[in-house]
Structure 1
C-alpha cells in the first residue's frame, strides 16, 4: 500500500497517542517500532516533495571534484642537448612553463636516467623519460632550471672533462650500426683497401692467396703505368 504524506502524518500522531496510554512493555515496544517506521516513511516522502533539494545535493560532489581534473599526459619527444666539462644539458621547449608553480616541475634522477614531469600546464601534464644515459651521472649534482618557455635538465657528469658523443647508450648503438665498415669521407681507394684488409683477415687460405695475387698484379700494373708515363 502507498500512503500519502498526510495519511502518514495522521498515523504518526495516532501512534504517539497510543504510546502515551500503553502500559505493557510488549505493546510499547511494538508502538515504538511502528513510530520509527512511520517517521522514516514521512522523511522519504518529504524528500520526494523537494526534487530541487535532491538535485542540489547531487551537485555538491561534482563541484568539489571538478577543479582536481588536469587533463591527459603528453609524452615529450623533441629536445636538444649539448655539454660542458661538467654537465650534459637537455633543453625542452614548453610554451608558458615559467607560469606554473615551481613544485609542478619535477625531475627525478638516477645514475643512468632521468624523468621529467610538468603538471597542469594549460590543462595538460607533460612527461619525458630518458633511460640508459651514455655514462653515469651524479644524482646529487644534477638539477633543473625553468626559463621562459624552456626547461633545462642539468645532468652532472660523474667523470668530468669526458666527452659524450651521444646522449644514450641506445643512440650510440643505433648510430654505430649505421656506419659502414670503412670511412666514406676518406680517399675511395683507401676505403677499398680497408675493405680488402677485412676480407683478408676473415678469409681462409684460398681467399688470402687470391687477394695476395690480385695485390701483386695491381702493383705491377701501377709500376708499368708509371714507367710508360
Structure 2
C-alpha cells in the first residue's frame, strides 16, 4: 500500500477512535482508547513526513531531469548617465518568467546576471574588471518587456569612456602609434600590413587590387616621364 493510502487509512482509524472515545463511559476503556489514539497519531505524523519527503524528492528529480542548460548572454548594449552605468540585456519574453528567476549580483568591480529557465535555458552574463568602482548596495535591476536593465550605481560622478578595464586596454592596444621623426610612408605601410594581416579574404582582395592599381599608375607615370 502506498503512502497516501496508508495516510487515509490512519486518518479514518483516528476518526473512529475519537468517536469511540466520546461514546465510551468506562475509565479503563477510555484509557485504552487514548493510548491507541496516541499511537495512531504518531504513526500518522511519521507517514505524513515520509510522504512530504517523497514528494520533494520526486519534484527535485523531475526538475533535474529537465534542468536547463546555460548559455551566455551576448545581445547587450550599455549607456550611462552622471550617476549610473546602464546595461541593456535583450532577452525575449524575460518579462514572463517569475521575477525571482532573474538574479543579479554586484561587487565593487563586477556584476553577474543569471536568468533561470527562460525558454528551457538558463541565460548568464558576468562582467569583471569594471573600469571604475560601483556602489553595489545601491545598484539594482529592472525587468522590462524582452529586456533586463542592470543599473550600476557609480561611486563617483565621472564619465566612463568604456565599460571595463579589458575594453580600455584593448582600445589602447589598437590605437595607432605615431613617431614624429618616422617616415610617413613607412608608417602607412605598417598600418596597411596590419590591416591586411588581420583582415578577412574580402579585405585582402580589396587591398591587393588597390596596390596593383597604384603600381600600374606608377609605372604609367614613369613611362610618360621617359617620353
In the TM superposition, what are the counterparts of 1:73-112 in structure 2 within 5 Å? 73-112=70-109
Q: Distance in 1 between matches of 2:81 and 2:59?
A: 50
SS in 1 for 2:92: coil
In the TM superposition, what are the counterparts of 1:146-225 in structure 2 within 5 Å? 146-160=143-157, 162-182=158-178, 195-196=180-181
* Contact 1:166/1:172 (<8 A) preserved: yes
How many residue pairs get aligned? The number is: 127
Q: Distance in 2 between matches of 1:87 and 1:80?
A: 14
SS in 1 for 2:115: strand
Q: Which 5+ residue runs of structure 1 have no aligned equivalent?
A: 1-60, 183-193, 198-229
SS in 2 for 1:140: helix
Counterpart residue number, 1:135: 132
Counterpart residue number, 1:34: none
SS in 2 for 1:166: coil
Q: Distance in 2 between matches of 1:63 and 1:107?
A: 26
SS in 1 for 2:159: coil
SS in 2 for 1:137: coil
* Contact 1:181/1:195 (<8 A) preserved: no
CA drift of 1:66 comes to: 2.0
The Cα offsets for residues 141-198 of structure 1, whole Å up to 9 and x where unpaired, read as 10000000000000000001x110010000000111110124xxxxxxxxxxx5228x
Q: Per the alignment, do residues 134 and 70 of structure 1 end up closer, same or farther by CA in structure 2, a change over 3 Å counting?
A: same
TM-score w.r.t. the length of structure 1 is: 0.52
In the TM superposition, what are the counterparts of 1:37-52 in structure 2 within 5 Å? none
Counterpart residue number, 2:113: 116
In the TM superposition, what are the counterparts of 1:52-63 in structure 2 within 5 Å? none
Q: Distance in 2 between matches of 1:63 and 1:106?
A: 22
One of 62, 68, 73 as aligned partner of 1:66? 62
SS in 2 for 1:81: strand
Q: Which runs of 4+ in 1 moved over 3 A?
A: 61-64
SS in 2 for 1:195: coil
Q: Distance in 1 between matches of 2:97 and 2:175?
A: 44
TM-score w.r.t. the length of structure 2 is: 0.52
Q: Which 5+ residue runs of structure 2 have no aligned equivalent?
A: 1-56, 183-227
Q: Distance in 1 between matches of 2:60 and 2:133?
A: 45
